[in-house]
Amino acid sequence: MKRLLLLLVLSFNFSFAQTRDEKEIRKIMNDFMESIKTRNEAQYLSLFQEPVLWTGIYKDRTQAKRLEKNPKAEYYFADDYKAFIKGFKDDKSEEKFDNIKIVEDGAVASANFDYSFWYDGKMENWGKEIWTLMKINGIWKITSVTFSMDLAKYFPQPSLNERTKK
């Protein structure tokens, strides 16, 4: 019985252990958030590997609200990661990540997480974000960013507890 209990405790601890690559990817995620907050364009640009796909889509309910105001509002968009960072004119923008899940094999990875985008202390939008990354010359680089978006003025983000219920 003691062996079984020890085995369960050890397997539980190992299930939450992070690989070195996962720790490096989480550092990239932290650097991404920090570079937006501090408007550190050089740090931000260093996180990517060309070509980079940057696409977003409004969730159905937010798109319906947008269409009420503008019947020609586009559902999805493609952008440029360089334009994203250049769009910050002050230090009031911030992006936050939680509910992070990383899958990697030492060469490629995906990071799936919930995000929220803030301006001047107020949440503007939120949704799911998915990155793909490649390890190039021993360094992880972001190669694509795809995200869904709800506008917080229409639909507040549920709590983390609500978002992680299954």
User: Could you list the pLDDT tens digit for every one of the 166 residues in the chain?
Assistant: 445 443 444 444 444 578 999 999 999 999 999 999 999 999 999 999 999 999 999 999 999 999 999 999 999 999 999 999 988 888 899 999 999 999 999 999 999 999 999 999 999 999 999 999 999 999 999 999 999 999 999 999 999 999 998 7
pLDDT at 13: 43
Integer angstrom CA distances of residue 83 from 39, 41, 63, 79, 80: 13, 11, 23, 7, 5
Closest to 32 measured CA to CA, from 98, 85, 110: 85
Amino acid at the residue 4:
L
pTM for the structure as a whole: 0.86
pLDDT at 22: 97
**Residues contacting 93, CB < 8 A, separation 6+:** 36, 37, 39, 117, 118, 119
